[in-house]
Amino acid sequence: MAVTVSLMSAVAFPEIMQTTIDDQEFALWIELLGRRIGLRDSAIRKSYLLQCVETRVRKRGIASRRAYFELLRANSGNNEEWDSFIDLLPLHETRFLRHASSLALLTSYIQQRCAVQKTCPAMLTAWSAGCSTGEEAYTLAIVMDQAVAPYEWRPRINVIGSDLSRNSLNKARRGSYQRRALSNLSAEQIAHYFDQVDDETFIVKSALRERTQYLPVNLHELDSSNGMVGPVDIVFCQNVLIYFDNVERERIVNQLAEHVAPGGVLVLGGGEMLRWNRPDFKRIAADDTLAYKKISALI
């Protein structure tokens, strides 16, 4: 495969910088990104990909797109440059309280688990798979904290956020956001969970940050990351699978399912995974929400 790509790149890449990208060069970039993160061609427009590539070419002072392509291809383990490139791709759209129906389902699930003291777990753990810059992970922490608040025997809360971009994870750990990012939160939630730095900047309070942890996980290579996230009560993965083809989506969802503890739930984005079923999971009946409960261990 490496020889084929090298020969094709010699034909596909222009000798001088051009402001357009043809089908052949676009296919090479998608193949490269597919091997790295599983990206499918319909997940990004040619013009946007070209903009991302040329931004890094100029930033690094590299002579051509071909040279930058070869740099990435030859240094597949160069996480720093790959992180810088991936950060430019339109894969990071996120916000607090993004999907109210899914969060309402989680509130109901948590309160059912906690309603009886003797069956309430000592800890509830959620995994935000593809958390980007942390808004979703902190959202889960807020929802979980509010859901257990009525109970004297409330469990401890732990939220794991994962993403393939280390730059995004570093921002998530800092927990600093602009006012516009908090638009879906109530004034009470903002006051309770954030410290205001200035007119536009808010930082997640340490009490909530301490309930979260962030790990670099590439869902496309989830097989090799299995040991990083143990069995959890909630796996939350929304607006991530859209970047993969159907075969890869099913493979990833099956891998995510392995991380759900018996009695736990798997929450996906509506329409992202059609006709998925496994004997150890049961679809949860809920409006505008795609969620499954793990009813047993898969034998």
Tell me which of 216 and 79 has the higher pLDDT: 216
CA 256/CA 226 separation, integer angstroms: 9
Average pLDDT of the chain, as a whole number: 86
The arithmetic mean of pLDDT across residues 271-292, rounded, is 90
201 Cβ neighbours under 8 A, 6+ residues apart:
176, 177, 178, 179
Closest CA to 103 of 132, 133, 145: 145
Model pLDDT, residue 99:
86
Closest CA to 24 of 44, 48, 46, 42: 46
Domains of the chain: 2-88 (no CATH), 100-294 (3.40.50.150)
184 Cβ neighbours under 8 A, 6+ residues apart:
95, 96, 97, 98
Model pLDDT, residue 225:
53
Closest CA to 114 of 63, 65, 64, 148: 148
Q: How confident is the model at residue 1 (pLDDT cuts 50, 70, 90)?
A: very low
CA 131/CA 160 separation, integer angstroms: 9
Asked if the model's pLDDT at residue 9 lies above 50, the reply is no
Please report how the helices 23-37 and 79-88 are oriented relative to each other, as an axis angle in degrees rounded to 10.
120
Q: How many CA atoms lie within 13 A of 294 on its CB side?
A: 22
Tell me which of 18 and 170 has the higher pLDDT: 170
* Model confidence pLDDT, tens digit, residues 259-275: 999 999 999 988 788 78
* Model confidence pLDDT, tens digit, residues 138-185: 999 999 999 999 999 999 999 999 998 888 999 999 999 999 999 999
User: Which amino acid is present at 207?
Assistant: A
Tell me which of 12 and 32 has the higher pLDDT: 32
Q: 201 has which bridge partners?
A: 178
Burial class for 186, CB neighbours closer than 10 Å (0-12, 13-18, 19+):
exposed
* Model confidence pLDDT, tens digit, residues 44-101: 788 878 888 888 888 888 888 888 888 888 876 557 788 788 777 766 567 899 889 9
Reading the block at residue 108, the tokens are 């109901």
pTM beyond 0.75, yes or no = yes
Model pLDDT, residue 78:
57
